[in-house]
Structures are given as C-alpha cells and as structure tokens.
Structure 1
C-alpha cells in the first residue's frame, strides 16, 4: 500500500493548485480525481464564458492567455490540462474515493482502484456533482435535465428553463438563438442580480420584446410528458412542453464530508468547520480547499479567491511536519 505525505481529493483548479504547491515544497503527494482533469469544468456548457478574467483564473502565477478578457470553457480546459501535463503532476484520473478512515495519525484511503495511506488529506471536491432538486412529480422523466451542455439539442422544441442565475440565463439565450421556444420560470420577481453584467441586459431585452417568455413569482408544481403545471400569482396554469432544464443550482457532497467526520453547521447553510488561518477542519490533518468551504453558499468561493488556499494548507502541513521532526 503506497503512502503519501498528502492526498488531494479532487482534480479541479484548486486541487491542481494544491498539487503544484505540494510538489514545489518536496512533499510526496497524490491527486485523486473521479473523472477527467478539471472534471466540473469539462461538464460546463460548451459555449460557457467565465465571469472572471483570465488572470484571475491563473494558479501558481502561470499565465493564462485567452482570446478575450474573459476566457471560455475550451480555453480553461486547455490551460489547466497543460499545467497538469507540463508539470508532470501525480494525478490519478477516473479514480473515485470511496472511503477515508483515520486511525491514530494516519488516514487510509480506499478508492475504486486501490488503497493508500496518507499523513494529510486535502478535500477539494467542489460542488457541481449534486443538483438541487425541485422536488416535484415528474422530475425523474427523461425530458428533465439538471445539466445543460449544447443548445443544438433543443432546436425547434418547446423548452422550459427553471432558474434565474447565470446558468439558466445562458441556456435560455443560447437555446432561443438556436430556434427553441423558450419559457423562463423564475421563482422571484426578476432576473437574478448576480447574472453576468453583459448578459443581464440581453435577457431582459429578449423578454421585453417577447422573444423569450418569462413567468415571474412562478413555481413548477408538476412535470408531465407533454406539459408543465406552473403556479403563478393568478393561479395554476398548464403550458405545452417538450424539455425541461432545471438549472436551480448544485451543492457539495455533504454525505462525503460527514462520513469523513467534518462538522457542518446545523442551519441551512451547512458550513463545514475549519480554521481560516490553516484551512484545517475539525479533523486534525484533514484540510478543506475551494468552493466546498462555503457549504450551500456556493457563490462565496471561486477559483479567483480560493486559489490562495493551496499555499495556506501546504504551509500548515510543512510547519506541522517540522514540529514533529
């Protein structure tokens, strides 16, 4: 069984940043990623453009050159992939962590392919794997998806997009431009205020001109094979429908954190316990990095403001190692 100074769970941008930092400081490390390199970014919509500019997505000071100030998904995939390959990072892809157990001062990690031991663990698993379900009859129908990839699929179809954030608004605009008949179903009274500033006027104009229909203060009550039941201020209405994109956000894998022994706040935010000066959780030697630190507040941490977690964590590990030795 191979032993490491640190095992990093998650091969996204922050997991990669932790790997780079560990390598620079001579630590024996391993990154375990259940999918492809930066798997969450790979599953983003194919035309997705980041809110952040390219320099804010850089890790370890490695320049990120993009065609526009705000890079697109394919440019980010190329950037992070080249970092992994050029730096020969020790990363195992398509290897899911299934169990982590701590005995005395040693972690045992069982994955889908092997078992390892490690003195420290960094959890950088993000939040994109588990969608926030709307919890209505018919949500399990094949016509319903919580992930959006390509607008071509919905051409010439009656499409309902549930949500008012960036992902929902991007999908509504792209699909309308490919010929979908789009209805936006928004729980609140307006398009979300955090929608990208260059996109929000676009969707508002499309709604005002009647190109895209928007139902405000609306809630889906039931999804049927050929229609939706939607509750609005005037009462329940039924609209014809071929496909539903329920883009109502995502959440971290709280079960995984709880199984690790990480304490979560009892309120709806479910904030994990950690020391912001070291990023160490309530479990000694187990660190948290990236968006997972925000619990259900998934808008709190991004690549640009959580990349600093990598040096903070590695410095803490090095100090503890020096104290022991």
Structure 2
C-alpha cells in the first residue's frame, strides 16, 4: 500500500537531516530516504579527515557541536549527526535507494528499491560525492585504481601515485607518505591547489621541495598499467613504477537523476540546475533543491555551513503554499494522468 507524506527528502546528509528537523518542528508529515547509512558521504570520507569549517559552522538547528579542536574530525561529525537523528527520532529510511521521482498532477510519486511513496513536495539533497570525475585513460578500470581514499595503512611500503592537487589529494599524499608509502603526485596545473586548507598547504609544499614527496606539475596521466603509470609531462612521456593509483580529481552530482525529474540544467560546463534562490524551488513546482547539489559542477560553491539555511527557506515556502491552498486535496490516483 502506497504511503503518502507532505514531504519526502531524498538524501540523509547534514542538509537532508536539517530539512527533516525543520519539517518535524513545523508539524509536516515527512520521510528522509537515504541510500546508505546516516550521512553516507561523511561516512565515506577518509578516516582521519579534518573539516575546513569550525564545529559551530557545521551545526544544524542551533544544536551545539562540541569537538576537541576548533575544526572537528570525521568521527566527531558522524557522532554529532547520528545523535541528532536518533535523539530527535527523525523519520528516516536507511539503505533504501530512490530510483525515480515523477510528478503526476499535483503530487509526486517516489519509487525506491523497496517501496513506492506519494508526496506533495520533494526535496533533493543528494550532494555530489557519488560520481567521481574520471581520468578517461586506458587502465583506469584496473583494481589498483581508486577514486576514493580511506586509510593510509593500506598503502604502506607501496609506490603510490596520487592524481590531483585539492584537499583530498593533498591529505592522502601526506598521510600515506607518513605511513611509509613512496608517494608521487600528478598535478595538472602549475602548483598545489589554492583552496587547500591553509594549515596543510605549506606542509605539502615543504615535503615536495625537500624531495620527500615527488611531484609532476603541468602533467596528466596517459595510461595506467598493472605495474607502471605513464605520464604526459612538459619534458615528454615519463614511465613510473607503480603499485596503486589514487585518482582524487573531484566528484560531480548525478545530473542524469536530476534530468529524469525534469529539472533543467544550464548548457555550459557548470551544469547549474534551475531553481529560485529565494525559495529553492526548481522549474518543477513543488520540487526543491538543498545543499551542495545546487552548485552543479561548481562543487566548491556550496557546503554545510552556507547551505544549512536552505532547510528553513524551503519549509517556510512549503508552509506558505499550504496555508494559501486551504482546499482539501484528495490523494491522486497514480494510474491517471501522465508524468509532467
């Protein structure tokens, strides 16, 4: 039997949780649907990851976030968001992946691997950590290549190539080198990324300058083989012995998922979704975006501290619409009508 809600929130990260908290406070019937564990993306961050933001800037709903240092670690964030979910008894379904969101008449049909739900409004808060930016080179499919980094112990005493120059690449290079890996960084531009955490950037630059970590600038990968990696450098092709490759070149939102819902994307390389910044409503009436998904390929534009306000904006807009529409609307039959 289909279950109906005022609101369904797709994505159980910090912003999805913030939306659920706000909906619960305002008396809306809601459901958060998350394909993995609570704050799935944060769970998949490197085990020793430290946030750029201070703990108070990661707080949601003014619930204090107490950490040992000013900038919390991954495990502290997991504890914080998990306790919010459990202590507030949020209505959240975990390990349930949404397969489609379609609008019929004035309501939405949300299908998952387990169930079909109805909702008058839907919030998409799915982030961008699921789809890595691929190198698109021969050998990228080899088992020794990963687009995600977890624990430096795995790479001890191994020849490790780290592709990228952002926070994730720099953290991985430093941690693995300190655990005994032979680390080489492959950097597409002329320097380490300017957005690297200010207390980490001097560390990686010093390690490179002293020769502890090797670095190739203005360089790309042309091929990955079982025991070597081939580079295109300014001086020509270079072949390096190699055991593992961490291709930490960033991630992107699931644009195909957005397009199947009817959300329009800009035609340039930014792929910005169409939404009203004053209400967070997309070009599909009743369908909202929250969190980093709003930035398209500009994944550095939105993060927890500047998008947590989206929850209050969206719920206020939903309540405004519900107040204006005082007529009782019966649940639609999804067998009637065609998807918008």
* TM superposition score normalised by structure 2: 0.95
Q: Which runs of 5+ in 2 are unaligned?
A: 327-340
Q: Where does structure 1 lack aligned partners over 5 or more consecutive residues?
A: none
Q: Shift of residue 14 of structure 1? A: 0.1
Q: Deviations over 1:155-195 (max 9, x none)?
A: 00000000000000000000000000000000000000000
Distance 1:219 1:108 in 2: 44
The answer for the alignment partner of 1:305 in structure 2 is: 306
Matched residues in 2 for 1:297 and 1:240: separation? 34
Q: Distance in 2 between matches of 1:65 and 1:197?
A: 22
Q: Number of aligned pairs?
A: 325
Aligned residue number for residue 133 of structure 2: 132
**Aligned ranges 1:157-168 → 2 under 5 Å:** 157-168=158-169
For residues 103 and 143 of structure 1, the distance between their equivalents in structure 2, rounded to whole angstroms, comes to 46
The Cα RMSD (Å) is 0.3
| Cα separation, 1, equivalents of 2:195 and 2:108 | 40
Deviations 1:90-123 (A, max 9, x none): 0000000001111110101111111110000000
**Aligned equivalents of 2:166 and 2:234: distance in 1?**
21
Alignment of 1:1-325 (within 5 A): 1-325=2-326
| Deviation, structure 1 residue 261 | 0.4
Structure 1: distance between partners of 2:141 and 2:225? 10
**Separation in structure 2 between the aligned mates of residue 211 and residue 48 of structure 1, nearest angstrom:** 22
Cα distance in 2 for partners of 1:111, 1:229 equals: 42
Distance 1:244 1:278 in 2: 43
Query: How far, CA to CA, are the matches of 2:101 and 2:161 in structure 1?
Result: 41
CA distance in 1 between partners of 2:263 and 2:237 (Å) = 43
Query: 2:71 aligns to what SS in structure 1?
Result: coil
Q: CA deviation at 1:276?
A: 0.4
Deviations 1:272-315 (A, max 9, x none): 00000000000000000000000000000000000000000000
Measured in 2, the distance between the counterparts of 1:103 and 1:38 equals 30
Q: Which SS does the other structure have where 1:280 is aligned?
A: coil
Q: CA shift at 1:256, angstroms?
A: 0.3
Please report the TM-score for the alignment, with normalisation by the length of structure 1. 1.00
Residue of structure 1 equivalent to 2:329: none
